[in-house]
Amino acid sequence: MLLLDVDGVLNPLRRPSRDFQTHDCPVDGTLYRVHLNPKHGAELLLLAEEAGAELVWATTWEHAANEWIGPRIGLPELPVIEMPIIGGRLAGPAGEMFKTPHVAAYVAGRPFVWFDDLTGDADEDYLRRHPGVGDFLLVRVDPRHGLLPQDLALAREWLTAAGKGS
DSSP 73-102: HT-----B-----GGG-SB-TTS-BTHHHH
pLDDT digits (tens, 9 = 90+) for 119-135: 999 999 999 999 989 99
Query: Rounded to whole angstroms, what are the CA distances from 15 to 34, 51, 71?
Result: 10, 31, 22
Residues of the chain with pLDDT > 70: what percent? 90
**Average pLDDT of the segment spanning 131-141:** 95
Give the other-Cβ count within 10 Å of 150's Cβ.
Answer: 11
- Indicate the pTM of the whole model: 0.92
pLDDT digits (tens, 9 = 90+) for 65-115: 999 999 999 999 999 999 876 655 556 666 688 899 999 999 999 999 999
Cβ–Cβ < 8 Å for 11, 35: yes
pLDDT of residue 129: 94
pLDDT of residue 44: 98
Calculate ∠ Cα 12-16-18, nearest 5°.
145
Instruction: Give the pLDDT band of residue 28 (cuts 50, 70, 90).
Output: confident
Q: Which fold has domain 2-161?
A: Rossmann fold (3.40.50)
